[in-house]
A and B are shown apart, each in its own frame.
Chain A
């Protein structure tokens, strides 16, 4: 996978928005998404959201993300994404399910804000440790099965739930100047 090592960013006032069907295929991507990821709308629609997946992202984060939204709850995550040209960009992602009137999940929504550097710097060593565990396995399922307990352990040591941890490193203004 081609990577340039060059980091992209976007405005604190901007929100990268995307919507997917229940399988995670993109059904909407706003113009900020298109600009930052470097894809046209036509290239994104109908594609799996992993189109912007970066190889340095641990699998267990996505496992946790999918388990949470499939259970009908919101999830926040610091995510490293890969643009089409191989550049990378950090986002603070909020993913939520959309319900119909019968409370069934019909789609997912995600808005991403530019994270503050401090939060990213907190997350990077944690993700590196998780990647280190995952690299010992070749099968994707074995990878998250090995790294998820490490994530849980890290949170237990900090005596926080995942949500509490995320909010403890996130200012309500996120990357925006307050």
Chain B
């Protein structure tokens, strides 16, 4: 049993413990932050002063309450530091200043929890914005692809028009060669020539518009990529901030 006594008990002659010296030693250790010390085997009967056992029990009780508070507060704050806010300081058995300090910690933890929620929400919203903006980028890319296609098609159209024009000239020559019989055919050939000229004008107009469109699409694309870089940088900044806060 003696191995479970406080060390200070060993300073006294067997059978005659110096309670006051033991109490002083336990208090001294506690003041140095050692909350493990307690006065063990308090004998409630044989004391010169009848108040002594009450004093010794009171010291143990004070240490028990302090020890419990320190363990509770440490645990709650360690959890909060880890980003887990459900761990509240238990208020049962905490009185007076212990209770007030415990409540302050719990209030602070609730606030941290709310802030974390707001931060998470902002993060989610940013992710949504990022996704929406990415869709916009795709649309702009598709538009610029489409203008490219139109450009190609109008070039094909211009080529067809010039070939048709050549063909109609050949047809007029052939029609002239057969004389009167070819007159009707010559009229058709000259109408075809007019249509080919109109088609050539239209296609060169289209090409002009497409050039304008391509320029605009390129500008839009560049601006969108610039905004995209800003959004992405903000995102990584926010994540860094969140991980630092957690």
Contacts and interface: CB of A to CB of B under 8 A. Distances in A.
Interface of A: 12-15, 17, 19, 27-28, 30-31, 41-42, 45-46, 74, 94, 96, 98, 106-107, 109, 111, 113-114, 163-164, 167-168, 170, 172-176, 178
Contacts of A164: 86
A107 B67 CA distance: 13
B71 A109 contact: yes
B38 interface: yes
Nearest to A30: B64
Contacts of B68: 15, 17, 111
Contact of B75 (A45, A74, A178): A74
Contacts of A13: 92-93, 95
Given A30-B60, A31-B57, A109-B71, A41 B87 contact: no
A17 B64 contact: yes
Interface string B58-88: 0011001101100110010000000010111
A107 B36 contact: yes
B38 A28 contact: yes
Interface of B: 1, 3-4, 36, 38, 40-42, 57, 60-61, 64-65, 67-68, 71-72, 75, 84, 86-93, 95, 106
Nearest to A178: B91
B41 A41 contact: yes
Contact of A113 (B61, B65, B88, B93): B93
Nearest to A175: B92
Given A13-B93, A30-B61, A41-B41, A96 B36 contact: no
Given A30-B61, A96-B71, 6 more contacts: A15-B93, A19-B38, A45-B4, A111-B71, A113-B93, A172-B91
Nearest to A44: B4
B92 to A, nearest CB: 4
A175 B12 CA distance: 43
B67 to A, nearest CB: 7
A45 B88 contact: no
A178 B35 CA distance: 28
B36 A167 contact: no
Contacts of A15: 64-65, 68, 92-93
A14 B65 CA distance: 10
Contacts of A28: 38, 40
Nearest to B75: A74
Given A17-B68, A41-B41, A109-B71, A174 B4 contact: no
18 contacts: A15-B65, A19-B38, A28-B38, A30-B64, A31-B57, A31-B60, A41-B41, A42-B41, A45-B4, A46-B1, A111-B64, A113-B93, A164-B86, A167-B86, A170-B90, A172-B88, A173-B92, A176-B91
